[in-house]
Amino acid sequence: TADRTERAGGAATHCPYCALQCAMSVTARATDAADDTEAAAAPTVAPREFPTNAGGLCQKGWTSASLLGSPARLTTPLVRNASGTLRPASWDTALDLVARRLREIRATSGPDATAVFGGGGLTNEKAYLLGKFARVALGTSQIDYNGRFCMSSAAAAGVRAFGLDRGLPFPLTDLADADAVLLVGANPAETMPPFVQHLRAARAAGGLVVIDPRRTPTAEQANLHLRPAPGTDLALALGILHAAAADGLLNRSYVDKRTIGFDEMWRTVAAWWPERVERVTGVAAADQRRVAAVLTGARNAYVLTARGTEQHADGTNTVSAWINLALALGLPGTPGSGFGCLTGQGNGQGGREHGQKADQLPGYRRIDDPAARAHVANVWGVPADSLPGPGRSAYELLDALGTATGPRALLVFGSNVVVSAPRAAHVADRLAALDLLVVADIVLSETAALADVVFPVTQWAEEDGTMTSLEGRVLLRRRAVNPPEGVRSDLDVLAGLATRLDRSATDFPTDPETVFTELRAASRGGPADYSGVSYDRLRAGEALYWPVPAEDHPGSPRMFLDRFAHPDGRARFVPVDHTGPAESPDPDFPLYATTGRVLQHYQSGAQTRNVAELVDAVPESYVEVHPDTAARAGLAEGDLARITSRRGAATARVRCVPSLRPDVVFLPFHFAGEQRANLLTNPALDPTSRMPEFKVCAVRIAQAEPK
Ligand code: SF4
């Protein structure tokens, strides 16, 4: 049945931030203001009734109208002049300059000397046109996006096990009937607070289990909180699976009917009995057995993972370990139970389906699949053999910039890599080595500040476009207010450049609905088939979960109930073993550092650090430290600490947290300059997903300023 999108006054749209995509109304002018003051002209937001947020918004959503009309907005293109200063320029001047430099670089160094970096917050239309721009207008294989830092391990593990990756293969509201939910490396009480209401039943039944090295606000609500050492989640999954098997709790008939590969997988698990796992993880064997009992004693149970599971050098295997547990208990594809990953970025799901990923074409197709290449090339009106092959993954692309064999020009859309990429100081150095850096953004982000050319672009409630939420539901964001004068859509930027690079304007439309119509054709027949989704159906309020292969198809809210997406319909167990983090504490760097988000800020902070209420609440970075660890370093609450890893040093205010493991410090990654947590992080990459190991590195901590 359709969920009707109610208009509660103002334009019905969705939040500019995370993948929950809470429904809200944006009103361009306050209804009770009759004068012409700034307050009267300010847009307002209000939550709308919608299944996922059920009338709720978090602080970020409530304050999101501040982004519209923010004094920090860019309203004119900027071009760096001969003395190195960014100066205002006309759109034609900026577009002409970029197109000319791209031509020159391509002529002297080949198409792969030009590169594109996208973002998981871009609408589906922008993500799609960006991929087409790279492969058709630039002819480059060098395109990837910041979702590589976010969901790539879950995506790879999902494809391996189920034959298809959709973060939640069931509507989020199904969780409301669960009496057991295991959350691994997920902190929705801070990252997407309205999500937590769907965990009420599990909590009331005593079945809410949280696995996290920190006692997060989510862990505070759990019936059972397990605190493994960072980088040992995989071993913990093996221990819980071992405990379930030893206690005769596996679902043997499900394993026999719906999966293959159990015996091979078990050969590794057999060696990880709970007491051995306790020595590696620090989680008591009895607690491992309790988790197995909670999950198998429940009528309906779910296992959900997030960044804490994925952002490791063995992130794909770690997610696979949790999927193996879920499969052995018979959860995925069973009505009322399941396995899922909580996507983080606003369009983290759709952003990985439409071709801005180095190894993929629209429709979630593999770029090395000849049939996929032929289909997409036909939609694009180009020869299939003209499409480039797979390019470098996000960090590898950034690492290669300005090197002898790497790109000389980079175009960045919707990403702030000098804050959000690992080994951030090195990334800034690589950007500085480019011949041309172009950034399209709404504000002068830390990355835009380094650019040769900056394009000011529209955002969120200033434009139409579609997003795909964490449950695979396609949503329409509607234009509610006019963009500031001088600002254009990213679609206009791509079209402006493509036409200057001899592509026709009809091949690079600027109307979002027209782009979406082409996206539908390009996705037809692919794993993420949007061909039956239309703006008209979305405007009518239909709840369309992909795949939607025809205009009269109702969509696919619950996947895998009859069969998984592998050709034989069965899910795969994947044998995985514990290897541990790429970097462990040693005498020079005796602590684990882990990174994450706080309630009031989003991703690199480029948006939320420009919202006064959010800055007032959390104005600067901090480091959580156990009081004993702080005392040993001569630090007290509120002191400025210097945290140092093998890659650099960051500063942050000390917060003493008695519930933290004494061997762990935690830093949020939203802050700029010397406060960047990613000055510390390790770019060790997962061999399958190419995800960097954001969640664990070795550090030491000391006073940053003499007392
Ligand atoms: Fe926006 Fe996410 Fe907060 Fe909802 S939970 S209001 S989508 S940031």
| Per-residue model confidence as pLDDT tens digits over 525-574 | 999 999 999 999 999 999 999 999 999 999 999 999 999 999 999 999 99
Cα torsion angle, 376, 378, 384, 386, sign: negative
Q: Tell me, using a 6 A CB cutoff, whether residue 597 lines ligand 1.
A: no
Indicate whether residue 13 lines ligand 1 (CB < 6 A): no
**Lowest-confidence region among 21-30, 231-240, 663-672:** 21-30
- CA–CA distance, 180 with 297 (Å, rounded to integer): 9
Residue identifier of the C-alpha nearest atom 2 of ligand 1: 18
Confirm if 466 and 88 have CB atoms less than 8 A apart.
no
Of the two residues 48 and 331, the one the predictor is more confident about is 331
**pLDDT value, residue 458:** 96
DSSP 423: S
pTM of the model: 0.95
| pLDDT number for residue 1 | 28
The enclosing H or E element of 685 equals: strand 682-685
Q: Which atom of ligand 1 is nearest to the CA of 192?
A: 5
- Give residue 522 CA to ligand 1 midpoint distance, Å: 30
For the Cβ of 58 lying below 6 angstroms from any atom of ligand 1, the answer is: yes
Quote the Cα angle for 675-676-682, to 5°.
Answer: 140
DSSP 501-558: TT--GGGS--SHHHHHHHHHHHHTTSSS--TT--HHHHHTT--EESP--STT----SS
pLDDT on residue 573 = 98
Say how many CA atoms lie within 13 Å of 500 toward its Cβ: 20
61 CB near ligand 1 (under 6 Å): yes
Centroid of ligand 1 to alpha carbon of 472 (angstroms): 16
Are the C-beta atoms of residues 210 and 303 closer than 8 Å to each other?
A: no
On whether the CB atoms of residues 489 and 123 are closer than 8 A, the answer is: no
- What's the pLDDT band for 11 if we cut at 50, 70, 90? confident
Alpha-carbon distance of 589 to 583, in angstroms, equals 10
Query: Which of 14, 18, 469, 475 is the best mutation target for the ligand 1 pocket, counting ligand atoms within 8 Å of the beta carbon and taking the most?
Result: 18
- Tens digits of residue pLDDT in 246-268: 999 999 999 999 999 999 999 99
Cα-Cα end-to-end distance for the chain:
65
Provide mean pLDDT across the span 125-136.
98
Mean pLDDT of all residues in 394-409? 97
* Mutate which of 14, 21, 192, 607 for ligand 1 pocket (most atoms within 8 A of beta carbon): 192
Residues 6+ apart with CB under 8 A from 182: 209, 211, 291, 294, 295, 301, 302, 303, 304
Percentage above 70 pLDDT, the chain: 97
Of residues 486, 497, 366, 356, the one with CA closest to residue 415: 356
Q: What are phi and psi of 456, to 5 degrees?
A: -85, 125
The structural domains of the chain, ordered by start, are: 11-67 (2.20.25.90), 78-149+347-468+473-545 (3.40.50.740), 152-341 (3.40.228.10), 591-703 (2.40.40.20)
Predicted pLDDT of residue 33:
45
Q: Rounded to an integer, what distance in angstroms lies between the CA atom of residue 118 and that of residue 391? A: 14
The number of the ligand 1 atom at minimal distance from the alpha carbon of 58 is 3
Q: What is the C-alpha radius of gyration for the chain, rounded to an integer number of angstroms?
A: 24
For tokens 């400025």, the residue is 640
Is residue 69 left, alpha or beta, with left meaning phi > 0 and alpha meaning psi from -120 to 50? left
Give the span between the Cα atoms of 441 and 458, in whole angstroms. Answer: 8
CA quadruple 244, 249, 250, 254: dihedral positive or negative?
Answer: negative
Of 350, 321, 338, the C-alpha closest to 128 is 350
160: its two tokens: 């391996």
* DSSP line for 604-651: TSTTGGG-HHHHHHS-S-EEEE-HHHHHHTT--TT-EEEEEETTEEEE
Atom 5 of ligand 1 has which residue's CA nearest to it? 192
The span from the CA of 73 to the CA of 443, in Å, is 5
Compute CA distances 54 → 176, 195, 639, whole Å.
12, 9, 41
Q: Which helix (H) or strand (E) holds 236?
A: helix 233-246
pLDDT band at 604 (very low <50, low <70, confident <90, very high): confident
Write down the number of H helices and E strands in the chain: 24, 30
Take atom 6 of ligand 1 and give the residue whose Cα is closest.
61
Report pLDDT for 274. Answer: 98
Look over the chain and give the mean of its residue pLDDT values, rounded to a whole number: 94
Gap between the Cα atoms of 650 and 636, Å rounded: 17
Q: Is 586 exposed, middle or buried (0-12, 13-18, 19+ CB in 10 A)?
A: exposed
By C-alpha distance, which of 74, 116, 79 is closest to 606? 74
Half-sphere exposure at residue 435, Cβ-oriented, CA atoms within 13 angstroms: 20
138 CB-side CA count, 13 A:
32
Is the beta carbon of 555 within 6 A of some atom in ligand 1?
A: no
**Mean pLDDT on 304-326:** 96
Question: 623 forms bridges with which residues in the sheet?
Answer: 654
Q: Which of 500, 508, 554, 556 is nearest to 528 (CA)?
A: 556
Q: Are strands 697-703 and 640-645 parallel, antiparallel or unpaired?
A: antiparallel
Rounded Cα distance between 284 and 318, Å, is 19
Selection from 312, 356, 350, 323 nearest residue 689 by Cα: 312
pLDDT at 38: 46
CA of 189 relative to ligand 1 center, distance in Å: 11
- Tell whether the model's pLDDT for residue 509 goes beyond 90: yes
Q: What is the pLDDT of residues 445-489, one digit of tens each?
A: 999 999 999 999 999 999 999 999 999 999 999 999 999 999 999
